Amino acid sequence: MARDPSVLIFGLDVDDPKAIQGTTRGLLEKYGAERVFGTPLSEDAMTGVAIGLAFGGLRPIHVHIRMDFLMLAMNQLVNIAAKSRYMYGGQVQVPIVVRAMIGKSWGQGAQHSQGLYSFFMNIPGLKVVAPTTPYDAKGCLIHAIRDNDPVIYVEHRILHFQKGPVPEPLYAVAPGKARIAMTGSDVTLVGISYMQLECLRARHYLEAVGISAEVIDPIWLQPLDIDTIANSVRKTGRLCVVDNGWTSCGAGAEIVSAVIEQVQHERAVRVKRLGFAPVTCPPAPTLEDAYYPNGRTIAAAVRDLVTGKANHWLSDERADLREIEFKGPF
Amino acid sequence: MHERFYRSLYRIRRVEEEVARAYPTDKIKSPVHLSIGQEAASVGVCEALGPNDIAFGTYRSHALYLAKGGDLRKMIAELYGKATGCAKGKGGSMHLIDLGAGAMGASAVVGTTIPNAVGYAYAAKLRGSQQVVASFFGDGAVDEGVFHESMNFAALKGVPIIFICENNFYAIHTHQSRRQKLANIAEKARTYGMPAEVIENNDALRVYERVHEAVAQLRAGKPGPFFFECFAYRWKEHVGPGEDYQLGYRMRAEAEPWLDSDPVKTMAARVDKALRARIEAEVEAEIEEAFEFAETSPFPEVTELYTDVVEL
Ligand SMILES: Cc1ncc(C[n+]2csc(CCOP(=O)(O)OP(=O)(O)O)c2C)c(N)n1
């Protein structure tokens, strides 16, 4: 915002005392109420306003404390933001960033736990990014702001608590390159958003039973860097995608089919999709535990995939692999 | 009648105080939006409704659920995520439901139940069921497009509905004055073509009198809707059991008059002392039993994850 006066940020609670988990803290003082402001509870209209601001030459960032609330903005996002550049023959562009928070539930239940990014991956004209490391969180946001088209920027509540190196200078993490987080030889494990962490945990559990997993963070979901994943699968012959959403028509479905399209004539591949149970998210802890994949259940499924049979194995939980978890009330 | 009101108000207050007390144990794994300080509207409205009438609420609906006759044990069990909860541990605090009592459920997404209530009321009218529907929402919901669209349609079709806007002046930490140019919610409703009034004093009896009259008119066949904007104040933080004056978005001085005009105390003053003591003792026992029930109830079996799923 210091570099580019056309950038502004707004949305519910952007300027409130909690400042979107601290992510917007200090911005109001620094950049003033014209560029940093809270809004009425009017997701549909405010999305349209964001698009209008973009038509008017600015670069708005619109923030939502839950991705679930984006459902109220679907019309503007899908029918206007995604399509304007094309349907007006390239004469206009819509450089907006939509920050949408998702999360593991901790009893938040049906409407506060959904990872709905695949809805947007389905629409030509929208870019979608779901960074997991602090480094990528900064670099992808900077790219998203500079991008001349609409970007849905998906951030997971638990990932806000992650620590990692973040260089001081401005840098961009552009679409086009997935990251191999850990190399391995037996199976390619792709984890989306928070599930990246669970995949890294799963990798440790798998090590203990002699399976070497290559863990890949796709970072950008639209456009997807399929080449990096496909190359890994050429090596391992096995692909498991763990989605932070439902599997049906999900990001995992897309990744698996795109990889198969590439490698089907070169080698046989075994695939597996994991994600939320195909039901509405329940708050009861016993049900929630079964609803979400975790390091151990991922490891178990991957072991079955690698060995080609059901092993009925579930590793003991390892305390050293537990990490900070989201706690209520918010 | 005052006794009934007092019992209901006192019970709701004490239930939520106990929820706040139990919360730090982390056994209640559900975000709780407490109504402490705001009980008057729920009690006043629900006392004016009959048992067959229907109420739709929001994520802040503990008071509404209880005032409408929702089962207390099942409510607490639901907050604990237990199989014995009113939604079998599948809803949580934000989705309380008791169909037998006419508590039609609640949504965590602001404004979403308003058109559902309008639809239900239209159905009641078409079926000639004589039911009246109450739709509860906050001042924040008035920001949403769906509020205005629903007002328009409800007035157009003359459905038997009573809109209750519980105006506590805040949406999370943002004051109404920072979201709406004018503080004229009832006036807005009026322009859609319905009688609308503001009830300022957070007194359950006053709410009851006004809503009771509206219900009588609806039952007598006068087309709806009716609109009431009830002022109230949220004593606790937006979500969670604590107070949050230290955040600085509101001052304790602003709260003082509301703390002084506590709707529970206002009603207590109208009830004989001995009777009050008896009511309080009965309520305390009931609450203790409900928490005990929740504590000792089982969690849902994992197989429950796949029940109540839409059939394909
Ligand atoms: C559509 C939507 N946008 C935003 C939110 C986040 N949110 C949750 S509660 C709330 C405040 C609503 O205020 P109000 O309607 O006045 O009800 P109150 O909490 O004061 O009872 C907001 C903005 C939401 N749940 N749904």
> Is A175 within 8 Å of A225 (Cβ atoms)?
yes
CA distance B176 to chain A (A): 9
What residues are in contact with ligand 1 under a 6 Å CB criterion?
A 12, 41, 43, 69, 72; B 60, 108-110, 137-141, 168, 170-172, 238
Show the tokens assigned to A315.
Answer: 């590793």
Separation of CA A20 from chain center: 17
Q: What is the pLDDT of residues B208-236, one digit of tens each?
A: 999 999 999 999 999 999 999 999 999 99
Parse chain B into domains and list their residue ranges. 2-306
Residues of chain A with Cβ-Cβ distance to B172 below 8 Å are 12-13, 16
> Is B172 within 8 Å of A64 (Cβ atoms)?
no
Q: Do A12 and B249 touch (CB under 8 A)?
A: no
* Residue A323 annotated among the catalytic residues of the structure: no
Q: What is the pLDDT of residues B75-90, one digit of tens each?
A: 999 999 999 999 999 9
Show the tokens assigned to A157.
Answer: 């509540």
> Is A109 within 8 Å of B95 (Cβ atoms)?
yes
Q: Tell me which residue of B211, B159, B170 sits closest to B40, measured CA to CA.
A: B211
Q: Do B81 and A283 touch (CB under 8 A)?
A: yes
Contacts (Cβ under 8 Å, ≥6 apart) of B254: none
Q: Do B174 and A12 touch (CB under 8 A)?
A: yes
Q: Ligand 1, closest atom to CA B112?
A: 1
CA distance B100 to chain A (A): 22
Which among A112, A143, A155, A214 is annotated as catalytic? Answer: A112
Q: Which SS3 state, helix, strand or coil, does residue A76 take?
A: helix
CA angle A80, A82, A87 (to 5 degrees): 70
Task: Inform me whether the pLDDT recorded for B295 exceeds 70.
Answer: yes
Which residue is closest to A278 within chain B, CA to CA?
B306
- Between CA B131 and CA B124 the distance in angstroms is 6
Q: Do B300 and A329 touch (CB under 8 A)?
A: no
Residues of chain A with Cβ-Cβ distance to B141 below 8 Å are 41
Q: How far is the CA of A65 from the centre of ligand 1 (A)?
A: 11
Q: Tell me which residue of A131, A52, A56, A121 sits closest to A99, measured CA to CA.
A: A131
Query: What pLDDT score was predicted for residue A309?
Result: 97
Q: Do B144 and A72 touch (CB under 8 A)?
A: yes
Query: What pLDDT score was predicted for residue A329?
Result: 61
User: Could you say which residues from 105 to 144 on chain B have a Cβ atom under 8 Å away from some Cβ of chain A?
Assistant: 107-111, 140-141, 143-144
Query: What pLDDT score was predicted for residue A325?
Result: 65
Q: Do A18 and B143 touch (CB under 8 A)?
A: no
Residues of chain A with Cβ-Cβ distance to B109 below 8 Å are 68-69, 71-72, 111
Q: Ligand 1 test: best mutation among B110, B112, B244, most atoms within 8 Å of CB?
A: B110
Q: How far is the CA of B283 from the centre of ligand 1 (A)?
A: 31
Q: Tell me which residue of A198, A140, A185, A225 sits closest to A317, measured CA to CA.
A: A198
**Within 10 Å of residue A249's Cβ, how many Cβ atoms?**
13
Q: How far is the CA of B57 from the centre of ligand 1 (A)?
A: 12
Which among A43, A214, A254, A288 is annotated as catalytic? Answer: A43
DSSP state of B29: -
- Between CA B184 and CA B264 the distance in angstroms is 27
- Counting beta carbons within 10 angstroms of the beta carbon of residue A10, is it exposed (0 to 12), middle (13 to 18) or buried (19 or more)? buried
Q: Ligand 1, closest atom to CA A65?
A: 6
User: Helix B39-48 crosses helix B204-219 at what angle (to 10 degrees)?
Assistant: 30
> Is A243 within 8 Å of A252 (Cβ atoms)?
yes
Q: Which CATH superfamily is domain B2-306 in?
A: Thiamin diphosphate (ThDP)-binding fold, Pyr/PP domains (3.40.50.970)
C-alpha count within 13 angstroms, C-beta hemisphere, residue A162: 21
Query: What pLDDT score was predicted for residue A328?
Result: 63
User: Helix B2-22 crosses helix B39-48 at what angle (to 10 degrees)?
Assistant: 140
Q: Tell me which residue of A94, A95, A98 sits closest to A44, measured CA to CA.
A: A98
Residues of chain B with Cβ-Cβ distance to A39 below 8 Å are 179
User: Does A131 sit behind a cis peptide bond, omega within 30 degrees of 0 on the bond before it?
Assistant: no
Contacts (Cβ under 8 Å, ≥6 apart) of A216: A178, A179, A180, A181, A188, A189, A190, A191, A228, A229, A232
Q: Output the DSSP codes for A129-170.
A: E---SHHHHHHHHHHHHH-SS-EEEEEETGGGG------SS-
Query: What pLDDT score was predicted for residue B29?
Result: 84
Q: What is the mean pLDDT of residues B131-139?
A: 98
The ipTM value here is: 0.91
Q: What is the mean pLDDT of residues B158-186?
A: 98
Q: Tell me which residue of B49, B67, B61, B42 sits closest to B204, measured CA to CA.
A: B42
* Residue A288 annotated among the catalytic residues of the structure: no
- Polymer length in residues for chain A: 330
Nearest CA to ligand 1 atom 25: B109
Choose the closest CB to B95 out of A68, A110, A285.
Answer: A110
Which residue is closest to B84 within chain A, CA to CA?
A284
For chain A, how many helices (H) and strands (E)?
A: 11, 12
- Distances in whole angstroms, Cα of residue B88 to Cα of each of A167, B26, B80: 48, 19, 10
Q: Ligand 1, closest atom to CA A13?
A: 23
Separation of CA A42 from chain center: 24
B311 touching A, CB under 8 A? no
Q: Name the maximum alpha-carbon separation found in chain A.
A: 61
- Between CA B181 and CA B170 the distance in angstroms is 14
Q: Do B32 and A41 touch (CB under 8 A)?
A: no
Chain A: residues touching B (Cβ < 8 Å): 12-13, 16-18, 38-45, 68-69, 71-72, 106-112, 277-280, 282-291, 327-330
The C-alpha R_g of chain B, in whole angstroms, comes to 19
Contacts (Cβ under 8 Å, ≥6 apart) of A131: A137, A139, A140, A141, A155, A159, A173, A219
Q: Ligand 1 test: best mutation among B169, B172, B233, B237, most atoms within 8 Å of CB?
A: B172
Percentage of residues of chain A with pLDDT beyond 70 = 98
Query: What pLDDT score was predicted for residue B311?
Result: 83
> Is B204 within 8 Å of B166 (Cβ atoms)?
no
> Is B169 within 8 Å of B176 (Cβ atoms)?
yes
> Is B58 within 8 Å of B97 (Cβ atoms)?
no
Instruction: Report mean pLDDT in 10-residue bins for chain A, 330 residues.
Output: 97 94 96 97 98 97 97 98 97 97 90 96 98 97 98 95 93 97 98 97 97 98 98 98 97 98 97 98 96 97 98 94 67
Q: How far is the CA of B110 from the centre of ligand 1 (A)?
A: 5
> Is A109 within 8 Å of B108 (Cβ atoms)?
yes
Helix (H) or strand (E) holding B134: strand B133-138
